[in-house]
Each structure stands twice: as C-alpha cells, then as structure tokens.
Chain A
Amino acid sequence: MTAVTLDDVSVTFGAHHAVRHVTLRLQRSRVTALIGPSGCGKTTVLRAINRMHEQSGAIVTGTVRLGDVDIYGPGIAAEHVRSRIGMVFQRPNPFPSMSIFDNTVAGLRLAGIRNKRLLREAAEQALHHAALWDVVKDRLDQPAIRLSGGQQQRLCIARALAVQPEVLLMDEPCSALDPIATAKVEDLISRLVPDVTVVLVTHNMFQATRVSHDVAVFLLDEDRVGELVEAGPIEKVFSSPADPRTRDYLSGHIG
C-alpha cells in the first residue's frame, strides 16, 4: 500500500536545481529512510512532501500524492496538507514560551479544538506514544525548554503525533542528540509504525539499518544536482544494490 507517491518531482530555488526527477513510492506503515551525502536534496524532497518549501521560495514541479490526492492540486491548502503530514526537525524546536502540555496540544489548539478534557486526553496519549509521559506527567505545566535535548525532541514528536497525522516526516531527528537520547528516539521511531508512515532523512547508515524498512538513496548527478538513484527494501538495497553508484556510495561508507 502506498502512502505517498512522488512522481517526477523536481525542486528549484530560483535558477538553482536542488533535486530533480524524483519518482518514489513511500509504503504505508513502514519507515523509509532517505540517505545520501549532504547537499544531495534529501531534506529538500522531504520538505516538498508537506509543502514546507513554499515559504522559502522554492518551486516544486511534478506531483506529490497523499493516497490519491495531489497535495499541490488546486483547492488544496498547504495547512491542510501539513496537518496530515507532520514533521520533526533536526534541532528540537519546542515553543519556548509554552509549557510542556501547551506544546503537546499546540497543533490541536491551532486546529481550533478547545475542549479541555479532549486536549488533556490527547496530550496524555501523544506523550505516552512518544514514551515521555512518565517523565513529564508531574510537570506538564513547566516550560518545555527545561527538558533535556532528547526529551525536547520526543516532545516535538509527541506534538506532531497529537494531530494524528498519517505520515510523519523526520529530518535527521537525532543529529543534535547524544547517543543515549538517539537510542531512545530510534526506539520510538520503530514503534510509531504501523499507526504512522515515517519518512526519515538521515546521513547515518547505521541508523537507517536499525530503524527503517525501506531506503531511498540520493546522490549528486554530473551537474551536481540531487537525484534519486535507487529505492527499495533496505536488505535488498544494502546487500545487492542494483546501481553501481549505490554500491560505490555504500562501500565508501560502510564497506
């Protein structure tokens, strides 16, 4: 089952091509890792999936479909897309002026939900889901930035989960964390499926191996523009890559 379909997607910033001709199916209820060297367009593709690039003036061509709906189609609101496709960023970014509780339900409040009981229950669930409930249940009204870096990142995951998105995009969610916190977030990612489809950008091959089911390899082509080289189940791609460039890349990293 395909959750998200990218069909011939290219992203340009002004005259600069960041990535082009990406055709990729992201399988439902699986973790797909986007890997590749830096600057090859992994994050760009990720941000094209929930229309986060519109603000930075990027132009996306091709089609991106959530289920069978073209998310760039006429009459589709970017806000709508983003409440179905959540995102977690490189650096934990809880709202500094909000408490832990307010952070967790920020997305629900933005959606116009005011019912206190509902918010309370949703917050508890999301925090449980992010394996943070036991840590924060006694201090929900403390500022979120009192939490450690790893806890902040899990709070951000809880915040994204509270909206109950179908897809969760994660842009190197562990790159700012220490090894222990990384292990916890990775553990969490593995347990997000099957409820959520996860798309994970990482430059860490080991992480990809640990948490993902599928992998998509991005490299720079001869014009130094990002392109998708190969995609498929991770065991297959890592053990017997179809493309020689994938093999070169992987052997350079893990060989």
Chain B
Amino acid sequence: MTGWLVRPRRPVRAYSVLCWTAVGLFAAVLAAVAVTIGAESARAWAHAGLGFLWSGTWNPARDHYGGGLLVVGTVVTTGCAMLLAVPIGLGIAVYLAELSPRWLSAPVSAAIDLLAAVPSIVVGLWALLVVSPFFARDVEPTLARTPGLRSVFAGPAYGPGILLAAVVLTIMVLPTVVALSRNALQAVSGAEREAARALGATPWQVVRTAVLPAARPGIAGAVTLAVGRALGESIAVAMVIGNRPGLPRSLLQPGATLGSAIVNQFGEASPGLGESSVVALAAVLLALTVAVNAAGIGLLGRGGPPGRPAPGPPRRLAESPGAVGPAGAGPTGLVLLADPIDAATRSLPRRRWASRVMYNLCAACVIAGAAPLVALLYYTIARGHGALSLGFLTQAPRPAGIPGGGIATAISGSAKIVGLGLVMAVPVGLLSALFLYDRRGKAAGTIRFGADVLTGVPSIVLGIFAYGVLVRPFHHSSTVAAGFALAVLMVPIMIGGNEEALRAVPEDLFEAGLALGARRARVAGRIVVREALARLVTANLLAASRGVGETAPLLFTVAAPSAALTLLIFDRGPQAFASAQQTAWACALVLLAAVLALGATARAVAWRLTRHQR
C-alpha cells in the first residue's frame, strides 16, 4: 500500500494560484496608482515643467497652473497641526501607558479609538458649523489681542482659515499619534522601568529616564505617520480652510492645501490641461505622503532598543579581584565624596513637585483630546436627531433649500458602494495576507511595504485614480467606480489587519498541522484561518468602517451628492439653508451610527474571541 504517500496535489495548487492571483492583483493596483497619476498629470508637467512646484499662480483662464502656494499651504497647515498634536498626543500616550490609574486607561483608550473612527466629513461638518463661528466670535479676536501673538494672528477673524484647518487636522491625527506612541511606550520592557524606580526615580523621572529614550524611534515613527496623514487629509480641510491660496502672513487668513485644492478644482477643471494640472497636484501630494510614510514605516520597523550583540564576553581582560579604589579609598574603595542620599533627600520635594506637574499636564492633555470628541458627539446628536424619522430615512432627497424629503437614496447608495467595495476587497485582502503569512522572502517584504505605503496614500488621490481608470474611459460616473475606489482604500488596511490576525495564531498550532503531514499552504489555509477567524472578521469590519466614512474617493466617481451619505453631508453642510444643514447633521448622525456599529461589532467579535480563549 503506497496510497498514503500520494499527496492531495490539486487543492493545494488551486490555493496557491488564488494567492498568487490576489497578490498579483494587489501589486497591479499599486503600480496602476503610480502609473495613472503619472500619466494623467504628464500634460501638466510638460506644460509647466518643474516650475509647477514653485509657481504660485493658479489661473485656469490663462492656462497658468502652479502648485507652489498650495505646497506652502499644505506644509504650514500640517506644521501648525503637528505643533498642537504632538505635545497633546504624547501627553495622552504617556498618561495612558505610564501614569493613569489602571481603571481609567481602558475608557480613555476606547475614547481615542472612537475619535479615530469618526469620519473626517463629520469632523469637517462640526468644525464648519460649530467651531468656526465660535472661533470667529471668541477665540480669534482674543488671540489677535494677545501681546506677542499679535503678528501671527493678525487680520480679520473669519472663522474658516489656516488656524481652524490646523485644529481640525490636530483632531484627526491625534488618534494616530496617541495609539502608535502608546504602543512604543508599552513596548519598553518593564525591567528598565524597575531599574529607574529602584534608583529612587519619581514616576515622571522613570518616564523621562527609562521609557522615553527607549521609545524614541517608535515615537518618531508615530509622528511621521501622523504627518503623512495630515498632509493628505483633504475633505475636512477643504470645508474649513477658506480655500484661498496665498502666502500665509497670518494664521487667521484663509488658505488652501494641495488636498483642498484638488477637492475644489477637479470638478470644474476644463478637460485636458486643466484636469491634468489638478492630477499633477495629486501627484505632488502622492510623492510627499509616500516619502513621509516610507520614512515613518522605516522608523517604526526599527523600534525597540538598538540591536543587542551576541552574548558572551567579547574580550577577556584580567580583572584584579581586589580592585582598589583611588587614593584615600577605604578598604573596599568606597569613599563618601558627596552624600548622594543627602542630595536625593534634598531634591526630592522638587522632584516630586515636577512629577506632579507633569502628571497634571498629561492629564490636561487627555482632557484637551477628549473635549472635541465630546463636543462633536454632542452636536451631531443634538442637531441631527430632530430630523430623523421613518419618512426621512425612506424618502428620496429633495434639492437643497427645499424643506422635506429624506436621505433614502444616500443610505442605499452608500450601502451599495461599500458592499461592492467589500466584495472586491475582502478576497484580495485575505488571500494576500495568506500569501504574506507563509513567505518571508523579498516578494513578501515588498508587498507588505506596498500595503503599508498604500495605507498612507491620501484617499483623494485614490479617488482621482479611480476616476482615471473607471470613470473617464467610460464617460460616466458609476457605483462600480466608487466601489473600486473604496476597495483600493480598504485592501491595504485589510492586508495589514489580516496578517496580524493570522500571526496571532500560536506558532505551535501551525507546527501541529505540519506534523500531521499537511503542506504548509494547506495548514495556513485550513487550520490557521479557522483559528484566526474571529480576528479576521474584526480586521475586515474595521476596514469596512473606514470605507463607510470616506468621502474623497466618491467625490469624482459618483454622479450626484444624493447617492452617498458622505457626499450629501459635503454638499449640504456648507449651504446657508437651515433645512440643508439639518439634512447634513442627520446624515452625519446616521453615518456616525453606522461607523460606530461596525466598530462595536468588530470589538464584540474580538471580545467574544478572547472570552472563548480564556
């Protein structure tokens, strides 16, 4: 009998082919993004040359296109946002990882996750309708009167402007800074904390001496990825920055960024050079964010302490057993030069005071981070719930300014687009992750890096990409194109999440499968996927919730604003009619509920999993 030697070849080959196909598709999309953006913007580059990067005029009437002022606007806005987000985010991360009482750490972390889940369009709506009037009336005049700040905050207080955009960006990148720096802080080994503590360090001294230095690469990576996110955020910024390119002389003046200009110019750009020039803006944005994100990924990859050399004494030196100290030393070499204990005692009140101050500063950061979240949730619920009724949810929208009507088409449209996106993204995401799970070679590394980089590509760029490959060639917008744009956005998130889920399965289960005589691919496909199922579902749900809240990819792929929730908010929010704003708030509430429901489901699945494992 040799039957047992026969291997089940066919299913394995099919599986392998599927994986390769998925990865090939993903790689093709990755390449296509670069090629499409490059090809579509070629005409603009040919027309303006590299001068496009620094020429400041954007005048479609005279065919003069330059992105210089937009690059400046993007850098200034992002810079201001980071000035706010880095200290506040680091304060929150230190508080969560080091200083907070244990019972408080979980709810604060949950709040940060919640903030990360809020769609940027909702933040934009809230900033435009709530924060902007408040800034124009109270905050900006106060800043303009404050001595020392006067030159930075000069000019009339409009509300919308660079400052407001920076605040919005701060809110949007804060979760990134917090979550990634907290991970970096928590990865520092307990041994180093204990070492500092055993030397008599105060809680803050433990953080400063033992934790922050060791976490520095991780924190640098967190900040870099946050910069990448801030550079690429377009929709919320477009709603609040005022959209007037100019050299920023005051933070109160309106400005424009690459992202906000794409949002505003693409729809009305003339075919040909005009359109190509907007795509050139997207190309600049793409290059900028890819460079920044690649740097961030590199920094995060290097996280942790510098490499430990191989153990064992590198060289043996004769060590005098009775090492005698310097002249005047006692029998064991210990002389009281100064009295360190005395110094420690004398400085202790000051050190404890400093520790206390830092603790309170970090706690203040938590409040500063939580306040916008609370305000945002409050206003969305308070202003949105009034319009909600069964009729509102089931009737088609009426044109802006005409009261009545509902948001039925927007809900069904959003559902269709996201559903289509999921149908395209889920198989590719899962199979690509399986491909990565079992391969450690260069190909896997490249794909993983590509997924990480694509995760950081601004969604507005992906929207332009989908427009270039699926809308313009067929001469009309379509749900398929929108779904495709969302799929491109979700796939890299899914690949990352899925691979993490697969890796969370204990290695010995994989080996147990191998020991049963199954092939690696088969074990990965059958045993590991089954064990990781709950985590896989969680990862895909979280990716879906990102997709639901996206606006930018739909902007150029969907025909009418009434065909998606996020677009309806973007269309109605800035209008002056109360009924239009009410519709926007109601959409925001529905959207927020959908995103939170997806997130909560994901977490419930994960929670069930851990309970089951216990």
Binding site for B on A (CB under 8 A): 50, 52, 55, 57, 77, 79-84, 86-87, 89, 91, 93-98, 106-113, 115, 118, 121-122, 124-125, 128-129, 131, 133-135, 143, 145-146, 148-151, 156, 159-165, 178, 184, 187, 191-192, 194-195
Give the top 4 A-B pairs by smallest Cβ distance, nearest first: A83-B200, A112-B347, A96-B305, A107-B199
B55 CB → nearest A CB, Å: 45
Q: Which residues of the partner chain A approach B268 to less than 8 Å between Cβ atoms?
A: none
Report yes or no: A80 in contact with B348, Cβ–Cβ below 8 A. Answer: yes
Report yes or no: B199 in contact with A159, Cβ–Cβ below 8 A. Answer: yes
* Given A96-B192, A97-B213, A145-B306: A86 and B338 interface contact (C-beta under 8 Å): no
* A133 vs B12: C-alpha distance when bound (angstroms): 62
Report yes or no: B309 in contact with A146, Cβ–Cβ below 8 A. Answer: yes
Report yes or no: A131 in contact with B319, Cβ–Cβ below 8 A. Answer: yes
* A89 vs B209: C-alpha distance when bound (angstroms): 18
Report yes or no: B200 in contact with A80, Cβ–Cβ below 8 A. Answer: yes
B residues 337-362 touching A (CB-CB < 8 Å):
337-341, 343-348, 350-352
Report yes or no: B198 in contact with A50, Cβ–Cβ below 8 A. Answer: yes
B519 within 8 A of A: no
B473 within 8 A of A: no
* A234 vs B346: C-alpha distance when bound (angstroms): 39
B224 CB → nearest A CB, Å: 19
B194 CB → nearest A CB, Å: 6
Q: Which residues of the partner chain A approach B337 to less than 8 Å between Cβ atoms?
A: 118, 121-122, 125
B308 within 8 A of A: yes
Report yes or no: A110 in contact with B340, Cβ–Cβ below 8 A. Answer: no
Report yes or no: B333 in contact with A128, Cβ–Cβ below 8 A. Answer: yes
Report yes or no: B305 in contact with A79, Cβ–Cβ below 8 A. Answer: no
* Given A128-B325, A131-B321, A163-B200: A111 and B343 interface contact (C-beta under 8 Å): yes
Q: Which residues of the partner chain A approach B346 to less than 8 Å between Cβ atoms?
A: 112
Closest Cβ neighbor of B210 among chain A residues: A95
A47 CB → nearest B CB, Å: 9
Determine which of A84, A148, A163, A164 lies in contact with B314 in the assembled complex, contact meaning CB atoms within 8 Å. Answer: A148
> Helix, strand, loop or mixed for chain B's interface?
loop
* A183 vs B35: C-alpha distance when bound (angstroms): 65
* A150 vs B209: C-alpha distance when bound (angstroms): 23
Q: Which residues of the partner chain A approach B196 to less than 8 Å between Cβ atoms?
A: 95, 106, 110
* Given A125-B325, A135-B319: A149 and B311 interface contact (C-beta under 8 Å): yes
* A2 vs B32: C-alpha distance when bound (angstroms): 78
B385 within 8 A of A: no
The number of A-B residue pairs with CB atoms under 8 Å apart is 179
* A216 vs B433: C-alpha distance when bound (angstroms): 56
Determine which of A79, A89, A98 lies in contact with B191 in the assembled complex, contact meaning CB atoms within 8 Å. Answer: A89
* Given A79-B200, A79-B351, A148-B312: A95 and B195 interface contact (C-beta under 8 Å): yes
Closest Cβ neighbor of A192 among chain B residues: B332
* A98 vs B312: C-alpha distance when bound (angstroms): 20
Report yes or no: B308 in contact with A110, Cβ–Cβ below 8 A. Answer: no
Report yes or no: B313 in contact with A151, Cβ–Cβ below 8 A. Answer: yes
Determine which of A93, A97, A115 lies in contact with B216 in the assembled complex, contact meaning CB atoms within 8 Å. Answer: A97
Of B192, B322, B324, B340, the most chain A CB neighbours within 10 A belong to B340
* A213 vs B612: C-alpha distance when bound (angstroms): 51
Report yes or no: A86 in contact with B321, Cβ–Cβ below 8 A. Answer: no
B92 within 8 A of A: no
B residues 142-169 touching A (CB-CB < 8 Å):
none
A32 CB → nearest B CB, Å: 18
B235 within 8 A of A: no
Report yes or no: A87 in contact with B345, Cβ–Cβ below 8 A. Answer: no
B21 CB → nearest A CB, Å: 44
A145 CB → nearest B CB, Å: 6
* A125 vs B330: C-alpha distance when bound (angstroms): 11
Q: Which residues of the partner chain A approach B197 to less than 8 Å between Cβ atoms?
A: 52, 55, 82
* A195 vs B334: C-alpha distance when bound (angstroms): 8
Q: Which residues of the partner chain A approach B46 to less than 8 Å between Cβ atoms?
A: none
Determine which of A89, A108, A165 lies in contact with B195 in the assembled complex, contact meaning CB atoms within 8 Å. Answer: A89
Q: Which residues of the partner chain A approach B110 to less than 8 Å between Cβ atoms?
A: none
* A195 vs B199: C-alpha distance when bound (angstroms): 18
Q: Which residues of the partner chain B approach A107 to less than 8 Å between Cβ atoms?
A: 199-200, 340
- Give the size of the chain B interface in residues (CB under 8 angstroms): 58
B residues 182-239 touching A (CB-CB < 8 Å):
189, 191-192, 194-202, 205, 209-210, 213-214, 216
* Given A83-B341, A129-B334, A148-B313: A110 and B209 interface contact (C-beta under 8 Å): yes
* A195 vs B332: C-alpha distance when bound (angstroms): 8
B105 CB → nearest A CB, Å: 13
A-B pairs with beta carbons under 8 Å apart, 28 shown = A80-B200, A80-B345, A82-B198, A82-B201, A83-B341, A89-B194, A93-B191, A107-B200, A110-B196, A110-B200, A110-B209, A112-B347, A112-B350, A121-B326, A125-B325, A125-B334, A125-B335, A128-B325, A128-B329, A131-B320, A131-B323, A135-B317, A148-B311, A149-B311, A150-B313, A161-B334, A163-B199, A195-B330
* A79 vs B317: C-alpha distance when bound (angstroms): 37
Q: Which residues of the partner chain B approach A121 to less than 8 Å between Cβ atoms?
A: 326, 337
* A79 vs B339: C-alpha distance when bound (angstroms): 16
* Given A86-B198, A107-B200, A148-B314: A163 and B306 interface contact (C-beta under 8 Å): no
B516 CB → nearest A CB, Å: 36
Report yes or no: A163 in contact with B195, Cβ–Cβ below 8 A. Answer: no
Report yes or no: A118 in contact with B338, Cβ–Cβ below 8 A. Answer: yes
* Given A112-B351, A163-B344: A97 and B200 interface contact (C-beta under 8 Å): no
Closest Cβ neighbor of A127 among chain B residues: B323
B336 within 8 A of A: yes
* Given A77-B352, A156-B195: A111 and B323 interface contact (C-beta under 8 Å): no
Report yes or no: A86 in contact with B199, Cβ–Cβ below 8 A. Answer: yes
B455 CB → nearest A CB, Å: 29
A239 CB → nearest B CB, Å: 29
Closest Cβ neighbor of B330 among chain A residues: A195
* A162 vs B333: C-alpha distance when bound (angstroms): 12
B residues 389-406 touching A (CB-CB < 8 Å):
none
A235 CB → nearest B CB, Å: 24
* A129 vs B331: C-alpha distance when bound (angstroms): 10
Q: Which residues of the partner chain A approach B343 to less than 8 Å between Cβ atoms?
A: 108, 111-113
* Given A80-B348, A107-B199, A107-B200: A122 and B192 interface contact (C-beta under 8 Å): no
B357 CB → nearest A CB, Å: 15
Report yes or no: B344 in contact with A95, Cβ–Cβ below 8 A. Answer: no
Q: Which residues of the partner chain B approach A86 to less than 8 Å between Cβ atoms?
A: 198-199
* A79 vs B74: C-alpha distance when bound (angstroms): 47
Report yes or no: A122 in contact with B199, Cβ–Cβ below 8 A. Answer: no
Q: Which residues of the partner chain A approach B194 to less than 8 Å between Cβ atoms?
A: 52, 87, 89, 93
B323 CB → nearest A CB, Å: 5
Q: Which residues of the partner chain A approach B191 to less than 8 Å between Cβ atoms?
A: 89, 91, 93
Report yes or no: B214 in contact with A95, Cβ–Cβ below 8 A. Answer: yes
Q: Which residues of the partner chain B approach A113 to less than 8 Å between Cβ atoms?
A: 338, 340, 343
Report yes or no: B198 in contact with A80, Cβ–Cβ below 8 A. Answer: no
Closest Cβ neighbor of A196 among chain B residues: B334
Report yes or no: A160 in contact with B313, Cβ–Cβ below 8 A. Answer: no
Determine which of B209, B214, B326, B345 lies in contact with A106 in the assembled complex, contact meaning CB atoms within 8 Å. Answer: B209
